[in-house]
Amino acid sequence: MPDHLHAILTPAPEVSLEKAMQYIKGGFSFRLKSRLDVWSRSFNESQILTKEDFEACRAYIEHNPVRAHLNELSEDYKYSSLSQNWMVEPPPLHLR
């Protein structure tokens, strides 16, 4: 999305979600080399406990460009995981 990011993250067992977000935000900001704030100070967290929850969350994320009127088809949004430009890892084993 032009002004925000949706992601489903599964940090390694020894890495907290907060630490994973610190790595993502810090690494991006370092590469951007900007003095502007590009990240909000927090993030929203939801636990995905079932396969159904995972599929619903993934569908919400994938169809967000259509709801935002950026494209008619989710697949046509070049930053979507549905486009052929991105490699998406499979869900964790307990959610397959």
Average pLDDT over residues 42-48: 83
pTM of the model: 0.75
Q: For the segment 26-44, what is each residue's pLDDT rounded down to a tens digit?
A: 888 888 887 778 888 777 8
What pLDDT is recorded for position 41? 78
- How far is residue 96's CA from residue 44's CA, in Å, rounded to a whole number? 24
Please say if the pLDDT value at position 48 is more than 80.
yes
Average pLDDT over residues 67-92: 86
Taking a C-beta distance cutoff of 8 angstroms, is the pair 86, 92 a contact? no
Residue whose structure tokens are 């549905």: 82
Q: Is the pLDDT of residue 67 over 90?
A: yes
